[in-house]
Amino acid sequence: MFVPAFNNGNWFWLTGSLNGDLAMDPDLPGVSTEEWLHYWDAFKVALLQLVEEKFVRGVFWTEELAVNSILPTRVLPHVHCIIEADAVGVDELRKLTETVEAQLTRHFGPDYLKPDLAAEPIETARSLMDRIAYMVKPFNMLTAYERGWVRACPNGRRSAVRFNSQATDLLLGYTQATTRRQKISFKGNLDSKAKGYIGVPMDELADHRDELKELRANTQGPYIEDGADDDEPDLQEN
């Protein structure tokens, strides 16, 4: 929807992350998953407000959970965003940070992980395609599981049982938290239902099939963030 319309906009890539990560309490896994929702909601409110107050024209974002370890289970809720705007610089990032922090203060008081926001321009249609592909990747806990199992297994059956119990709680918690939740969202001129939508209408996508095939045939590899990729459990967005 957006890649064929690359020339219709001015595009930016934004990652909304946190300084640190969250522990999942093995005795209260449901309470832990509620924490994730509050962090995702804080970013959501901030992004919606950024459009409503006309700091940017449009936002498309996904909510993600990086699994940094199991036994102990530590995770990092974060968001990835495509933004259409004149600029995403100091003013826009400050506005986002202030709104995220205000939302988190409402829920947690002074004890919350501080937001860590970074943005950069998207300069080519292929780069836009790669970032969107990165945004819609499936939830990954396999790497953390494999690395954690190597540590847990030699310590005997009890350790292995605890490890698998925490892995199960993590998977169930993520499923329960996200099954009815909208994990991919749009606002402003990147919302196909909006009057000023700049993307390609669904009924015209077939007309751009060859163009997209040509971009995919490019030998450039898929976009991976600096310092982190799908297989790296210690995801700390920069």
Domain that holds residue 133: 3-198
Residue 223 domain-assigned (yes or no): no
Residue type, position 28, single letter: L
Q: Taking the model in full, what pTM does it have?
A: 0.86
Calpha distance 63→130 (Å, rounded): 17
According to DSSP, the β-strands at 115-121 and 11-18 are antiparallel
Q: Measured between alpha carbons, how far is 125 from 199 in angstroms, rounded to an integer?
A: 13
User: Which pLDDT tens digit goes with each residue over 160-212?
Assistant: 899 999 999 999 999 999 998 988 999 999 999 998 999 888 777 777 777 77
How open is the CA angle 170-175-176, to the nearest 5 degrees?
Answer: 100
Q: Is residue 17 part of a domain?
A: yes
CATH number of the domain enclosing 160: 3.30.70
Confirm if 58 and 10 have CB atoms less than 8 A apart: no
Contact yes or no for 12/122 (Cβ under 8 A) = yes
Residue 164 resides in a domain? yes
- Strands (DSSP E) along 19-163, which ranges? 22-23, 58-69, 74-84, 115-121
Residue 226, domain member (yes or no): no
List b or e across 176-196, with b for residues whose CB sees 16 or more CB atoms inside 10 angstroms.
ebbeeeebebbbbbbbeebee
The tally of domains found in the chain comes to: 1
* Predicted confidence pLDDT, tens digits, the chain (238 residues): 888 889 899 999 999 999 999 999 888 888 889 999 999 999 999 999 999 999 999 999 999 999 999 999 999 999 999 999 999 999 999 999 999 999 999 999 999 999 999 999 999 989 998 999 999 999 999 999 999 998 887 777 888 899 999 999 999 999 999 998 988 999 999 999 998 999 888 777 777 777 777 777 775 555 444 434 443 334 333 3
Distances (CA, A) of 116 to 30, 39, 94, 98: 25, 12, 11, 11
Q: Is 93 a member of any domain? A: yes
